[in-house]
Amino acid sequence: MILLVGADGQLGRELSASLGLLGNLSRWTLDNMDLADPNLAEKLKRVEFPKLKAVVNAAADTAVDRAESEEDVAYRVNAEAAGLLAALAERHGAAFIHYSTDYVYDGMKSGPYTEEDEPAPLNAYGRTKLAGDRLVAAACPRHVIFRTSWVFSQTGVCFPRTVYNLAKARESLEMDCTQRGAPTSTELLSAATLLALRGVMGLGPAAWGLYHLVSSGEATWLEFSRRVVSKALELGLELKLKPGAITPRDVPDASRPAARPLNSLLSTGKAEETFGLVLPNWTYYADRFVEGLRYQASLG
């Protein structure tokens, strides 16, 4: 049996559709397990799963700006709850899969970050996620932590959907060109999780630990938004905005409470070698996202 926590979230919905391939899947959503509940520790102590093989934690408090004023709430979900779920996995002799973020780094490095680089979060969200990584590692040796970045999915609120909606209503748009990262689809994360679970079961301790997992290539938010708009126009979707009308903003947005790292590039060599991954370029998933938009539009 596999337990998926956060099955109703952006990544959780993608994992819900794929993890069942590995066997019996139990799904926890916010409705049946609130990770911000102060009584979470006691509730988890009463949980028993026969033949539990893995716990996959796709839940997180990702409200980056809100965390600046409500860090205690973000800490309960991103750190305390993650550690408690890892302890649940350890109690059952199960593996624990967890997802982390590029925001644990300060973005001052010139090249991609490796797993050995020292974290230095710039914001409260990054601090709570880093604390969660450490609590997970301490609670369950049989863990795999995937640090990823710039996550988007076919469902829910995400950057390319926001760009698409703006492009339908506006003829011009300003977009940040100072931050660099690798836009990463939940589709990629889900597929890699399946391979990682097989690796953890087969490789044992050699597969445990921290990994960076993102698409190959890199982009700025400006380049990402232009790709989405270009592909949408190519596929015949009606937009007011043209790619050339998306202009660069060369200073970070000072209106947001939380600082963002300028460099979110993550080296993925360790994950590729351990799990035999071949990671497509971010443009592949960006195009698939827009193809999904066209399909949705065709349904009316």
CA distance 133 to 118: 13
CA distance 112 to 213: 12
Q: Please tell me which residue in 103, 125, 164, 285 is annotated as part of the active site.
A: 125
pLDDT tens, position by position, 28-56: 998 888 899 889 998 898 888 888 999 99
pLDDT score at 143: 95
Work out the pLDDT band at 300, boundaries 50, 70, 90. Answer: low
pTM for this entry? 0.94
pLDDT score at 296: 82
Q: Phi then psi for 38, rounded to 5 degrees?
A: -60, -20
Work out the pLDDT band at 202, boundaries 50, 70, 90. Answer: low
Helix segments in the chain, DSSP class H: 10-18, 40-45, 71-75, 82-91, 124-139, 159-169, 186-203, 221-234, 269-275, 282-298
Structure tokens at 67: 């965390």
Among 90, 13, 17, which residue's Cα sits nearest to residue 52?
Answer: 90
pLDDT score at 241: 96
pLDDT tens, position by position, 152-161: 998 888 999 9
- Per DSSP, the three-state class of 263 is strand
Work out the pLDDT band at 23, boundaries 50, 70, 90. Answer: confident
pLDDT score at 216: 97
pLDDT tens, position by position, 87-146: 999 999 999 999 999 999 999 999 999 999 999 999 999 999 999 999 999 999 999 999
Known active-site residue 295: no
- Average pLDDT of the chain to the nearest whole number: 93
* Domain annotation for the chain: domains and CATH numbers: 2-154+183-216+265-279 (3.40.50.720)
